[in-house]
Amino acid sequence: MNSSSPFRHRKGQAIAFDASFAAVLALTVVLLGVSAVSTVAENAAQHQDELSKQAKAIALADYLIKEGAAFTEGSSYGTIAHTHEIDEGRLRAASIPRGSCAEFISQGRGFCSGAACVMRPAVIHGSNEAGYLHVCIE
Structure confidence at residue 3 (pLDDT): 55
* 92 lies in some domain: yes
109-65-52 Cα angle (round to 5)? 75
Judged on CB neighbours under 10 Å (0-12, 13-18, 19+), 136 is buried
Structure confidence at residue 19 (pLDDT): 83
* 36 lies in some domain: yes
Q: How far is CA 47 from CA 53, 60, 70, 96, 119, in A?
A: 10, 20, 32, 25, 21
Structure confidence at residue 33 (pLDDT): 94
Q: Which domain holds residue 91?
A: 13-137
* 99 lies in some domain: yes
Are 101 and 69 in contact by the 8 Å Cβ rule? The answer is no
Structure confidence at residue 68 (pLDDT): 86
* 2 lies in some domain: no
pLDDT tens digits for the chain (138 residues)? 455 556 566 665 666 778 888 899 999 999 999 999 999 999 999 889 888 889 999 999 999 998 888 898 988 888 888 888 998 888 888 888 888 888 888 887 778 888 889 989 999 988 888 989 999 998
| Cα-trace Rg, the chain | 32
Structure confidence at residue 5 (pLDDT): 56
Structure confidence at residue 12 (pLDDT): 58
* 88 lies in some domain: yes
* 3 lies in some domain: no
Structure confidence at residue 13 (pLDDT): 64
* 5 lies in some domain: no
Domain count along the chain: 1
Structure confidence at residue 118 (pLDDT): 92
